[in-house]
Structure 1
Amino acid sequence: MNNDLVVMDNSIVKASYNLSVSEQRLLLSALAQIPKNEPIDPKQAYYITRDDFIRLGANADQATRDIRNATKDLMKKTLLIETNAGVLEFHWLSEVLRFDKNADARLKLKYPNPEDYKNYLNGLRKYNLLESLPFGRHSEDIVARVVFDSRILPLLSELKANFTQFLLDDVAGFGSVYSFRFYQMMMQFKSTGYCRISLEDLRYSLALFEKYQATKDLKKRVIDTAINEINEKTPYKVSYELIKSGRKFTHLELKFKEKKAKVKGIERDPKTIDWVNGVSDNEIKGMSQSQAIKYADKLYQNPAIVGDWSDCLKYEDAKFKLINQLQESKYVRQYMEYLLACDDPFDPKTLGFKL
C-alpha cells in the first residue's frame, strides 16, 4: 500500500454497521489506497493482497481465505447513515472480483479452438469484462479487486472538513471488531482527547440490536475488550467512565492521550533544546491573543488540524477554538510542525512568549 493514511467522513464513523475483523481489514486496505486530495473515478478498482491482510494482523496461512470470505460477506453488508430526511442505507461495495490464477487455463480447456477462445475474449472486451492485473503489482499476491458503491464515494475522497483520519499501522493487529470502531470514534475527537457518547447511540453504531442489553455485559464484552486492545496496540492511552442519569447508566466518556514518546528508552527531557525549533519544550509558552488570532487563520487552512472538529459547525467556531488553544503552551507545541510550515513561519524563539 502506497499510502498509510485512512480518511473517512465523520458520518461513517457514526454510522450503524456490523463488520467482522476480516471485513474491516478489507475496507481499510482499500481505503488506504484512495487519493486524499483529488477526485476519484466511481469505477476505480482497488486491489487487495495477502500482504495487506498480513500487515493488519491476519495469519499468513489463512490470509487468502480470509480475503475471499470477506469479499463475499461484505458484498451483502450495508451501512445506515442518519440524514435530515431519515435513515439512508446503502452497500459498501458495488462489485468484487476474486482472482483465480487457473481461470485462463480453464477457459482454454473450454474453448480448445484458438478462434473460439479469441471470440470469447472479444465478447468480454466488448462489455468491459476482460480483466488484467495492474502493472507493477505481483499477480501471485493479489487476491481480490473491489469497487466502492457510488453512494459512499463522497464520504471517502476530497474531504475538507468533518472527517476522521488515522494511520493504518495504528489499528494493525486488532482482533476485536469493536476496537476498530472505538479507535475511529477516538480519532474523530483527536484534538480534544475526549469523547462522550450515549449508550443508546453506541449500541446503534455497533449494530448490537438486542445483544448485551445489561450494562455489565456491554462493559465486559464490548467496552473493556476494545479499550484494553487499544491501550495495548496503539499509540494512545485511553480510560473510560460510565455516566449515570439517575439510577441508570446512560453515557460513556472516553479520555485519551498519546503515550509518552521515548528516545533510547528515556523520556524526552523538557529542558533539551529541540534541533528543529531551537528552543526547549519548557521555553515554549502560549501566544498572545494577537499572535493567536494571526496564526489561527493560517492553521485553519490545514485540514489535518481541524478535520476532526465535529463540534465546530462553522468557520467562526473553529477559528475561535484555535485562538483559545494557541494561548496555551501545550497546543503551541502540538501544532509546532504546522506553525513552522506557514507562509509566515512561526518563530518559537521570538513569538512563543506571552507579551
Structure 2
Amino acid sequence: MSNVLVRAAQGLSLAEKRIMSACIAKLDSKRLPDPTRPLVTRMSASEFAETFGIDTNTAYDELQAGAKSLRERLIRYEKPGRKGPQIVEMRWVGRITYAKGEGWLELSFWHEVVPHLIALRDRFTSYKLSHAAALRSVYSWRLLELLSQFKGTGLLRIGIDEFTHAMDAPISCRANFKDLRRRVIEPAVQELIEKDGFLIAWEAKKSGRKVTGLEFRFDTNPQTSLF
C-alpha cells in the first residue's frame, strides 16, 4: 500500500484489519487501474480461517460482522494546502456483499483508495501477511506497517502527533504519554518481538519536558524473512 495510506488513520478494528489486509493481499499489485470497472476481491470463510489460524465459525462471524461495519470505515490523512494542511477523508469500500449461506464476503474498493493499492511505482510499503496473521492487537499490526516502511534503514523517526494518528490511539493516550506507552507502544513492541522475531529498541524524544517524537531502531531475526 502507499506510504500515505500506511501513515493514515485507518479506523479499523483488528477483525476489520484482517479482512481488509487479506483482500488487499489478493489484488494484483501490478494491475493498472481501470476507471470504468470497480476493483473487487472476494474472501471465503475457509480462506480467512486458514490465513489467520482461527476456526471456521469464528471466520464466519468476523466476515459477517465486517460486512456490517466496513462500509462506514473512513481513512483520514492530511495533505499540504495553500493556507495550511487539508484534512482528507475517504471510504475503504463502496460496496460490500456477504453471502450468508455460502460464507464469503466480496469488497468493491472505493475508487479513490484504488491508486493507494495497485500500480504503485514508488513510495509504497509491503510486508508478508503471514507475519501479521499471528498478531492479536491492531496496534501491533499498525506498528509493523510503520516499521516496514523503513525496513531498508532499520530506523523510524516519527512525530508524536503523527504516530498517535497512524495508530488510532485513544484520546486518553494522546493526552497522556504514560498511557500511550503502557497501552499502545510497549504491548505492540513486545508482540512484534515475541511473534515476529523483531529486535526493537525505542525511545521518546523530548523538547523540554514534553514528548514530541519517537525513535525506533529495529532489526529482524536473520532466520526469519519478514518482508
Specify if TM > 0.5.
yes
State how far apart, in whole Å, the 1-side matches of 2:203 and 2:32 are. 41
* Superposition pairs of residues 50-69 of structure 1, within 5 angstroms: 50-54=45-49, 55-69=51-65
Do residues 31 (structure 1) and 24 (structure 2) align? yes
The gaps in structure 2 that reach 5 residues or longer are none
Aligned residues: 217
Deviation string 1:33-88 (CA, Å, 9 cap, x unpaired) is: 11121214441321111233322244433110111111211111101122223111
Deviation string 1:101-124 (CA, Å, 9 cap, x unpaired) is: 3xxxxxxxxxxxxxxxxxxxxxxx
Do residues 215 (structure 1) and 215 (structure 2) align? no
User: Do 1:242 and 1:251's aligned partners in 2 also have CA atoms closer than 8 Å?
Assistant: yes
Match of 2:11 in 1: 18
Do residues 80 (structure 1) and 76 (structure 2) align? yes
User: Do 2:6 and 2:145's aligned partners in 1 also have CA atoms closer than 8 Å?
Assistant: yes
Match of 2:41 in 1: 46
Match of 1:226 in 2: 188
Match of 2:202 in 1: 240
State how far apart, in whole Å, the 1-side matches of 2:141 and 2:28 are. 22
Letter in 1 for 2:136: G
Match of 2:111 in 1: 150
State how far apart, in whole Å, the 2-side matches of 1:161 and 1:44 are. 21
Match of 1:92 in 2: 92
Match of 2:141 in 1: 180
SS in 1 for 2:56: coil
State how far apart, in whole Å, the 2-side matches of 1:67 and 1:81 are. 27
Name the structure where strand makes up a greater proportion of residues.
Answer: 2
Greater Rg by CA = 1
Q: 1:77 to 1:244 in 2, by over 3 A?
A: same
Runs (4+) off by over 3 Å: 57-60
SS in 1 for 2:23: helix
The gaps in structure 1 that reach 5 residues or longer are 1-7, 102-139, 263-304, 306-355
Do residues 163 (structure 1) and 119 (structure 2) align? no
Please report how far the alpha carbon of residue 158 of structure 1 lies from its aligned counterpart in structure 2 after TM superposition: 0.6
Higher relative contact order (CA 8 A, sep 6+): 2
RMSD: 1.8
Give percent identity, aligned residues only: 27
Letter in 1 for 2:124: F
- Of 203, 211, 221, 1:249 maps to 211
State how far apart, in whole Å, the 2-side matches of 1:18 and 1:196 are. 22
User: Do 2:156 and 2:217's aligned partners in 1 also have CA atoms closer than 8 Å?
Assistant: yes
SS in 2 for 1:166: coil
Normalized against structure 2, the TM-score is what? 0.89
Please report how far the alpha carbon of residue 207 of structure 1 lies from its aligned counterpart in structure 2 after TM superposition: 2.9
Q: 1:252 to 1:164 in 2, by over 3 A?
A: same
Please report how far the alpha carbon of residue 206 of structure 1 lies from its aligned counterpart in structure 2 after TM superposition: 2.4
Please report how far the alpha carbon of residue 205 of structure 1 lies from its aligned counterpart in structure 2 after TM superposition: 1.9
Normalized against structure 1, the TM-score is what? 0.58
User: Do 2:169 and 2:180's aligned partners in 1 also have CA atoms closer than 8 Å?
Assistant: no
User: Do 1:29 and 1:52's aligned partners in 2 also have CA atoms closer than 8 Å?
Assistant: no
State how far apart, in whole Å, the 2-side matches of 1:149 and 1:156 are. 11
State how far apart, in whole Å, the 2-side matches of 1:84 and 1:168 are. 31
